[in-house]
Structure 1
Amino acid sequence: MTALLFMHREMLRPEFPFKFIRHQGHSFRQPLHTHDYVQIAYVVRGVCSHHFNGRLLTASKGDMFVIPPSVEHRLETFEDKTFDLVLLDFLPLLLDERLKPLSQSLYERLTGEGGDAGQAAEGMQSWVHIPMNKQPLVEQLLQDIQDEFEHKEEGYQLSIRLNLAKLLLLLERERRKAARQPSGPAAVRPHQRQFEEIVRFVHENYDQDISLEEGAGMAGMAPTYFSHSFKKETGLSFIEFVHEVRIERAKELIRQQSRTMTDICYEVGFRHLSHFIRTFKKRTGLTPTAYRKMVCKIVK
C-alpha cells in the first residue's frame, strides 16, 4: 500500500499563506497526498488524470477543481501528452470576510467546516468545467496572479486577494449553473460533446495545419453549419479560435525570451511570419516585438 504523504500549511509563508505553482511539459506525477490548506487546480492546456477522494477522473482544458483540506488526491499526466496545469495553494484566512458572501456552502468547503471532509468532497461539486467563453477570463486572472506572485511589486498581496476572490466567485457561479441544469443525456446541448473534443484537439495540435474543413469533418457537419454552430457555442469562429490558441501559446513562448520570432511563428502553427505578426497584433493590439519589449520592461 502506497504511503500517504501529508503536506502541512507550514509550506506556505505565515505572513501571506499563498503559493502559485505552474507545471508545464510532458511529464508530471504527484504522490498520493493530503494537505491542511486549500488547493485550486485548473487545466490550461492538455489532459491529465486526477485521483480524487478514491475516484479516478480525467481532466482536460477548462476543468477547475477545489481540493479542500484532508482529501486524498494525486495529479498525473498521460505519457507524451503536453500539458499546462496551474495550482493555487492558500489558507481561507487569506480572504477573510471576502469569502463568506460568495455562499455559505463554498465557505464550508474551503474551510473544511460543516462535517467530514471526505463526505463533503463527494457531494460538493468541487469539479467544474469552465465554458469556453469564460476560459480566457479565468486564464487572464491566473496570469495576473502569477505575475503578481513572481514580481512582488508594492500592493501585490491585495491584488492576489482580489483576483483570487474573483476566481472563486466565477467558480461558484458556474457550479450553481451546473447544479440548476437537469441531469441525463437531454441536459447536454446538441453539439456540446463534439465541440469539446474539437477544442481539445486544437489545444493538442495547434502547431499543425488545422482547417475549417477538418474541424467540420470531426463534427460531422457541413463547413458553413459547423462555423455558425461553433461561433454560437464559443463566441468565436473556428479559425478565430485556432488563432486564439496559437497566439496565447506564442505569448507564453515570448515571455520565456529564449526563441526568435521566426521560431515561435512556426512552433505555434503559422506558416508565414507576416501572417503571424498581423494576427498577433489583431488579437493583442501589439506586434510580437512590441509585446516582447513590454514584457522585458515588466520583468526589469
Structure 2
Amino acid sequence: MEIREEKRDIPCFESKQQLNREFPFKIIRYSSSELKQPMHTHDYTQIAYVLKGVCNHQVPGKSLTVSKGDIFVIAPDAPHSLNAIAEQEYEVVLLDFVPSIVGELLQPFSGSLPLLLEPSRENYSLSGSGVPSWLHIGNRKQSFVEQLLQDIQDEFEHREVGYEHAILLSLAKLLLLIDREYRRGQRKPARQPTIAERTPIEEVKRYIYDNYSGDIPLEHGAFIANMAPAYFSHQFKKETGQTFIDFINEVRIERAKELILRGTHTITAIGFQVGFHHLSHFIRTFKKRCGVTPTEYKKMFAKDDHNN
C-alpha cells in the first residue's frame, strides 16, 4: 500500500493508488479486533457508518467512542483514525470515493452538500474545528441507510452493466439524507451540544433516545461514558435526577403513549416495540408512571375523542 508523507508527518493515502481510475469508488467492511489505524488523511472523501457494536474514532484532540447508527463524512485531508476496542464487537462500513463522481447528481444542492466533500471549504464540523463531520442516525432511518449500503455493496461486488450508475444513485441518496439530518439538527430551537461540549452523560442520553427499544444494561451506559459502573450510576442520577433504569423507562413510556394515541398497534405490540420483554412489566411500569394502565389510558382518550 503506497502512501505519501505530509510535512506534518501524517501519512496521506492517495486515490490513484487506492481507487480504480475509471470509477474511483470502493466499499469496505471492517470487523477485525486487530484493526488499529495510525492517524492519517486521504485525498478522497470517506463515509464511515457503524453497523453494530462500538469502536473508537479519533480526530485531532478528540477520541470518540462510536456505536450503531453513528456516521462520519471525512473530507479530503481531514486527519483521523479508526480503531477496534479490546473485547468489543463492531462492524463498520467505509465508502471511499472522489467527490467529483457525484458532482452532477448533487448540482442542485451546490450550496450545501459540497461543504461535506471539499477540503478547500469549511465542512460540516460539529466541533467547529475542522474535524470530520459526525451525525447519529436514529432508529427510524437506520434501516434505510443500511439498505442503501447493502445495495451499494451488491452492485460493487457483482458489477453488472450499469453498476456505476446504480452506485452513484444510492450514494447521492445517502448524502442527501445526511444533509437533511444535519439541517434538521440545526433547526432545533435549542442549540445542540457540540462533540467538544457534550458531556459523557449527554452521550448516554442520546444513545438511549435512539436505542430505547433494545436492551441497554447499565454496564453499556458506563462503557459509553467511559466510567466505572458504580461511579456512572451516581453521576447519571446526579445530572438527570433519575436512576439509569428510571430514565430508560421514562423514554420508553413516553414513546408508548404516542403509539397508543395513534391507535394502529395493540397494547401488547406497543410494549414489545418500546423495549419491554414482558407485557406484565410494561403494564406495571406504565401504571407506575401514568397512574393508569395502557388500556385505561387508551380508553380515556377514546372517550375524550367521542365527547368532542
Return the TM-score normalized by structure 1: 0.64
Structure 2: gaps (5+ residues): 1-7, 194-201, 221-242, 260-264, 276-308
Residue pair 2:252, 2:274 contacting (<8 A) in 1 also:
no
Residue 86 of structure 1 corresponds to 93
Conserved? CA contact 1:98–1:165, under 8 Å: yes
2:149 matched residue in structure 1: 142
Q: Where does structure 1 lack aligned partners over 5 or more consecutive residues?
A: 206-216, 243-300
What CA distance in whole angstroms lies between the structure 2 residues aligned with 1:61 and 1:119? 19
Q: For the structure 1 residues 240 and 106, does the alpha-carbon distance in structure 2 shift closer, same or farther, using more than 3 Å as the test?
A: same
Matched, 1:33 2:24: no
Equivalent residue, structure 1, for 2:11: 5
- State the one-letter code of the partner of 1:226: R
CA-to-partner distance for each residue in 1:182-235, whole Å, 9 max, x for gaps?
Answer: 2258xx9xx755344646756999xxxxxxxxxxx96427979836626859x9
- 2:184 paired with 1:158: no
Aligned residue number for residue 226 of structure 1: 252
* Contact 1:194-1:219 within 8 A present in 2 as well: no
Distance across 2 between alignment mates of 1:178 and 1:21: 29
Residue equivalent to 1:72: 79
Q: CA offsets, 1:254-289, max 9 Å, x none?
A: xxxxxxxxxxxxxxxxxxxxxxxxxxxxxxxxxxxx
Aligned residues: 226
Q: Is the 8 A contact 1:50 1:56 kept in 2?
A: yes
TM-fit CA distance, 1:52: 1.5
SS at match of 1:56: strand
More helix by share: 1
Given that residues 68 and 121 in structure 1 are in contact (C-alpha distance below 8 angstroms), is that contact kept between their aligned partners in structure 2? no
**Distance between the aligned counterparts of 1:50 and 1:136, measured in 2?**
22
Q: 1:224 to 1:38 in 2, by over 3 A?
A: closer
* Larger Rg, first or second structure (1 or 2): 2
Whether contact under 8 Å (1:109, 1:124) holds in the other structure is no
Determine the C-alpha separation between the residues in 1 that align with 2:159 and 2:216.
34
Q: Which runs of 4+ in 1 moved over 3 A?
A: 115-121, 191-205, 221-228, 230-233, 235-242
CA contact (8 A) 1:53 1:122 kept: no
Q: Which SS does the other structure have where 2:167 is aligned?
A: helix
1:95 to 84, 102, 109: 102
1:144: how far off? 0.4
1:73-97 alpha-carbon deviations (Å, 9 max, x no partner): 0011211111010000000111121
When residues 239 and 154 of structure 1 are mapped into structure 2, their CA distance, relative to the original with a 3 A threshold, is farther
In structure 2, do the counterparts of structure 1 residues 201 and 33 end up closer, same or farther at CA, with 3 Å as the change threshold?
A: farther
Higher relative contact order (CA 8 A, sep 6+): 1
Q: TM-score, normalised by structure 2?
A: 0.62
Distance 1:241 1:105, change over 3 A: same
Residue 105 of structure 1 aligns to a residue whose secondary structure is coil
Aligned partner letter, 1:220:
D
1:23 corresponds to which letter in structure 2? Y
Q: Distance in 1 between matches of 2:10 and 2:116?
A: 22
Aligned to 1:246: none
Identity in percent = 40
